[in-house]
Structure 1
Amino acid sequence: MKKIQELMNMLTSGVNNLYNNYPHIDKLNVFPVPDGDTGTNMNLTANNGYNDIVDGDFKSIGDLLSAFARGLIMGARGNSGVIFSQIMKGFSRGMTSAKELSVAEWKQGLQGAKEISYKAVMKPVEGTILTVIRETSEAADSFADDMDIKEFWKEIVKVANISLENTPNLLQALKDVGVVDSGGYGLVKFFEGIASVAIEDKIIPKTDKLEINEGGNIEMQLEDSEFGYCTEAVVLLSQDWIDKLEVNTIKEQLQIYGNTSMVVVIDEDILKIHTHALTPGQVLLFLQQYGDFKTVKVENMNLQADKQIKGGNPNVKTEWKETSSIKAERKLRNEMATIAVVPSQELKDYYESELGIDLVINGGSKMNPSTNDFLKAIEQVDAKTVFIMPNNSNVILTAKQAEKEETKSKIYVIPTKTIQQGMSSALSFDSATSPSKNNTNLTKAIKNVVSFSVSKAAKDSTVDGIKIKKNQQMSIVDNKIVDVAQSLKTVFEKHLAKYITNKTEILTIFIGQDADAKNVNDLRKFLDENFDVEYEIIEGGQKIYSFIIGIE
């Protein structure tokens, strides 16, 4: 029991130290738009895990770590939160049988943390939190098992900081702005909290007064574009491969083939794969060596899909509540339902009334719903198949985490990274079409829209070779800054004009809180005098982005 309490103190200290530093983590800006906050997301994720263990009665170190990791997973927000949850899941796997919190046991935990976190990401990006956990784990492997535990944690903090300081040398975006990776910084602060207990037997307390949280970092882009053939197969493993075949063996070969969106599951005598492939025959020939096919499904994702307007399903229209508690037994009364995330009440109303989305989560300006928020939403729509439109690159991984946790409904996470992409996907939904066809259509619809947004720079920065001064107007296309100007009028005349062509049919314009009547009139005048194009202007109510414009 003494060691269990010691671990509880370590986790408490780590969570507190992460809390104390999260505003500073938010200010490690790579992207000068304050709408993606690593520190906020890691802090909320960590606190959700802590709340699940603070009053618990645990019989072993493994049980405590497992409960903490489970709480992190359910509360994971943003890419950084999901990856942090996977790091702790790795610790719990590696230390399942730990009894003494010895150096040898912590080394096993670090090894598990590295392996599980890297598996969670399709294309791991070096120079991030993943690099910090990997290099820390690899350094720990060289430490002797009989090393003094205080010296061990001093070295862990030291090597983690060295790895963190090197992240700008591995990721050009960090080097351009002169900052270290924000997720890696958060992990280091968590480790420093643990080390305080291990070295000094001192729990770092929460700070009463934190620095101002200005936000402004962008996180890893982890999604691939959809292409080729959606290929699924279930293989009945031959006796020679049962308990011998490893998931990584399959994943590595599929990567060699250039596949994306890979899910590989091995359960006793069953191998199940889902992947997007350019050459599905090659994939099936590879899989056949491991046994007989039980089922095979190959669908062409490149076929042109006709746009169809979704009217919405009145049977599943429900009001989203952040604190809602679902007590009714789920009957899966509805065949299909849709869920989307937006940054304002006005956009929530638009998505529900005009696009027919069944349940819309108002994620606020930070757009950071948790895994558990998604699971509650899935329960509320009570459908056999649920399509989720995250509408933000920082929300996709959280939605996919909810997909893994959901046990009753079939979940399709449509990789929408902008409000405009979500709008285009929503209009492509057809309740009379099969789930797999809808998945293809909703995903393909992302390519039908250009996402043009305007935001005022929060700081001086350099992104993708573009020098940005504080308070300049930034033109952002498909989440990439393409140009800057001193005024919105210049943005309309020189930047937006480039993306309106003779093929453009309509512009959907969402007005943000920072846009005034003159800005809107300038935009109307510019469009009326220069283009023969239909446009719709809607009060979007969003913060940060004065204009969100979908060009179709």
Structure 2
Amino acid sequence: MRALDAAQVRRWAVACVQSLDAHREAIDRINVYPVADGDTGTNLLHTMRAALDALLRAPARARSEAGAALAELARGALAGARGNSGVIASQLLRGFADALAGSTELGGAELRSALDAAAARAEAALSHPVPGTMISVVQGAAEAARSADSDELGDVAGAAATGAAAALERTPRQLAVLAEAGVVDAGGRGVAVLLDALVAVVAEQPAALVAAARARELPAPELSMYTAREAGSDQFAYEVMYLLSEVAGNGVDPVGRLRDALVGLGDCVSVVGDGAGLWTVHVHCNDVGAAIEAGIETGRPRNIRVARFADAPSAEASRFVRDRAVVVLVRGTELGDLLVGEGVTVVPVEGEEPAFRLLEAITATGASHVSVLPADAGLTETADEASIRAVAAGQDVVVVPCASPVQVLAAVAVHDPRRRAGDDVVAMAEAAAATRRGEVVVAAEDGITWIGACSAGDVLGFADGEVVLIEPGPAGVDALDRAACGVAERMLGVGGELVTVLLGASASDELADELTDYLRREHPETEVVVYHGGQPDAVVILGVE
């Protein structure tokens, strides 16, 4: 991919949420600085969910310009920021938005500028930046991007992710508390996850699958959850956060005055704005009332959150009643019936708003992790749209790439709820990708194909999406049989052990018998299974594994 447009920016936001969800627990476990409260991964996830939600609710301009989409992400992240890490993540997005203001696309050169701006914004967010934190990782990514030999987006993104990983590995040498715990910086690990997600989107790979396949288990800290905090900050018992608006100048710098007042009360102070009059305030202190009063003297505080560090982190109440579910979006009632028998949730494509009905089905599963399988390539966009909405609402949803019902059947066949969710998704994706697909359809009109002209009523044979043969019409049993046998022969020419035949709504029993007889006679080494799929378009769909 040479550049990210607004739609791809949205895909990156979804990928960030999915990847952070996959890494949340591991990041929480290594969270020892500035406070060992085990919530950095959770805070980053909540912050990015708020960013995605803001983008999904954004006006039309954010759907056409990458810069506008990034601005909405930054605004949502700032308003929903959790903890120090969430504030810095919001500034990372703000830096991207600043660099892309008014731009319709994000290319390699723009990404360099965006990372430089993000590094500057992230450092300016804190009153006392410390080396060895997520700010160092953002800076490492920016420096590596500047040093990339190419201006291609993929090369710059890859260099940034590599630079972030290298900077992350250096954090224990920069911050003693990390070295003592034997871990890297938790916030820095979150930055690396966000950039890994960007690389996956640029490479046009399913980011959730990449995250699951490449997830590295991080070592747990070998010290108490309530380890002493650096720079004497163990004297501060509370974290205070709020949003601030209607800031009045009165001839002075009100934000600077607020920041100075908070520095006098505690540490880990950040006061950052979205450029449109909204500020997020964060401080660790003992005098909660004074921290809030300082905000009242500056503007109008709202969404005030106070956490006491001595309180053990409580598990968030779950709205989910089970761990795993598989949802399939299909055309054809009989295929749906076949899949229901395999224990999956089936959503038939009927009428209007299939994305909304798919979203309803995903939510109704009550599962914390849902794998969505579109039964043909034309349903992928619908599956993506529904999954984006579900992810923004807090569900972990992954669309497994499938271009045919036979690939869905292969994926469902290897589904195993006893595996880890990430491993199961990878296994289904690999099974689908390993299944070659063929189709026999009747041409609806005259046209030109890669192998020549066809007329309405001719029979077309497809292998992996390409026309490989044309049988002159009319489309009787003999022409359909020749086409189906020809497609099967071409597909089995490179080997295969199992042939799956899905009969369409217009396929006759005679055609099914002729095709299976041919396969068993000419390829006795292969196993043949035949199902009635009921698909309205293809007369026959073939899968070879």
Which structure's residues are more often helix, by fraction? 2
The TM-score with structure 2 as length reference comes to 0.47
The TM-score with structure 1 as length reference comes to 0.46
Compare relative contact order (CA 8 Å, sep 6+) and give the higher one, 1 or 2: 1
- The structure with the larger Rg is 2
